[in-house]
Amino acid sequence: MSILSETRTRDRPRERLFSLGPRSLTTTELLAILIGTGTSGSDALVVAQGLLRIGAGSLRELARRPVGELGTVVGVGRAKAARITAALELARRLTDEGRAVPYIVRSPADVHRWCTPLMSDLAVEEFHLLALDAQNRITRDILITRGILDSSLVHPREVFRAAIAEAAAGVIVVHNHPSGNPAPSADDRAVTRQLVEAGRVLDIPVHDHVVVGGDQFFSFAEAGLL
């Protein structure tokens, strides 16, 4: 091996990670390691740059993009998009584990404060499950469905499959209205009735269904509709 090729090998992100540790790498280089290989016209670093452009240079914004959108970046595809999405989700869960104080839900306002940073500005509907322990602490925030424009369909089996997997003592469901108006639709009311009934059968109570609309919210529990 020539001196030049040996130097290039040492400069590769993977080799620098082993020799200097992950903190020595840029965000683009870390993504390039996840991507592994590029295309015939672009190496993994160029592909990683394309991914970061989707998130305007922000990993937080990139993590909010659907996995299907990541797969449209040239050189990514479905398998690499899944790998990147999984890595970003692991990072989020690592952050959650590091929270010094468990987040306890005492009121619908607490739910709104939890969900607003992620849901208030979304262009499409998302339906989330908040899994709670016996002390009403949030143990997991799980995205169940993501809709198109202003509609999101959810089935009780999707919700309670996740609740059972998390050994939840109870749940709160949350979704957003991109219009900014949190008033529940007829479909929202019907879905809530189905979920509450399924929760009774499975002995996993649905404590609330909160609809987020910008900086406002609507609570089915507060309105006496559960």
Question: What number is the average pLDDT over the span 150-168?
Answer: 84
Question: What number is the average pLDDT over the span 165-179?
Answer: 94
189-201 tens-digit pLDDT: 999 999 999 999 9
- Residue 100 has a pLDDT of 55
CB distance 182 to 216 below 8 Å: yes
Residue 8: is its pLDDT beyond 70? no
Residue 17: is its pLDDT beyond 70? yes
Give residue 34's identity as a one-letter amino acid code. L
One fold for 3-97 and 108-219 = no
Residue 135: is its pLDDT beyond 90? yes
- Residue 5 has a pLDDT of 41
Give CA–CA dist 69/78, Å, rounded. Answer: 9
Question: What number is the average pLDDT over the span 146-157?
Answer: 71
Domain ranges across the chain: 3-97, 108-219
- Residue 40 has a pLDDT of 67
66-95 tens-digit pLDDT: 888 888 888 888 999 999 899 988 888 787
Angle at which helix 3-11 crosses helix 13-20, to 10 degrees, equals 70
More confident residue, 16 or 187: 187
CB distance 196 to 206 below 8 Å: yes
| Least reliable range by pLDDT among 100-104, 132-136, 164-168 | 100-104
Please state which CATH number belongs to domain 3-97. Answer: 1.10.150
Is-above-0.75 flag for pTM?
Answer: no
Question: What is the fold, at CATH topology level, of the domain defined by 108-219?
Answer: Cytidine Deaminase; domain 2 (3.40.140)
19-52 tens-digit pLDDT: 878 877 888 899 999 888 777 667 888 889 988 8
- Percentage of the chain exceeding pLDDT 70: 88
- Residue 99 has a pLDDT of 61
